[in-house]
Structure 1
Amino acid sequence: MSRIEFDGDRCEGHGLCEQTAPEVYRLDDDAELELLVDEVPPELHAKAEAGARVCPVAALRVVSESEGAQ
């Protein structure tokens, strides 16, 4: 299983992550990012990574359990 690391200080509320993976990311009415999953299930892993990749300020990163344990 994977999780999402989110740097709220970097986020500028562009919303590209939400457009790419609305099952994983959502911007609220104040353009604050809300993660819709605590742990990324395997069926959403590719979407979560795609949403993180399109972030223009690199505020998102998908980390696998094994990667986080290092």
Structure 2
Amino acid sequence: MTVEHSSQATPELHWHKSTHSAGDGGECIEVAVDGEAVLIRDSKNAQGPRLTVRQTHWTRFVRFAADG
């Protein structure tokens, strides 16, 4: 896992916000897939730090969260 600080947006990445996220600007994260990595950022701070995890680890996390 890495955390990188970005000073600019990465336009080539397609960022996704949860369908459970309200449109009122509440707290939310966005994710983008870049090869075998999943990048995670704060939707309100797109220029801020990003967390990078392997796609296999992200898949396990999502499954674990879905199982409650």
TM (normalized to structure 2)? 0.28
Relative CO higher for 1 or 2, CA cutoff 8 Å, sep ≥ 6?
Answer: 1
* Higher helix residue share: 1
* Higher strand residue share: 2
TM (normalized to structure 1)? 0.28
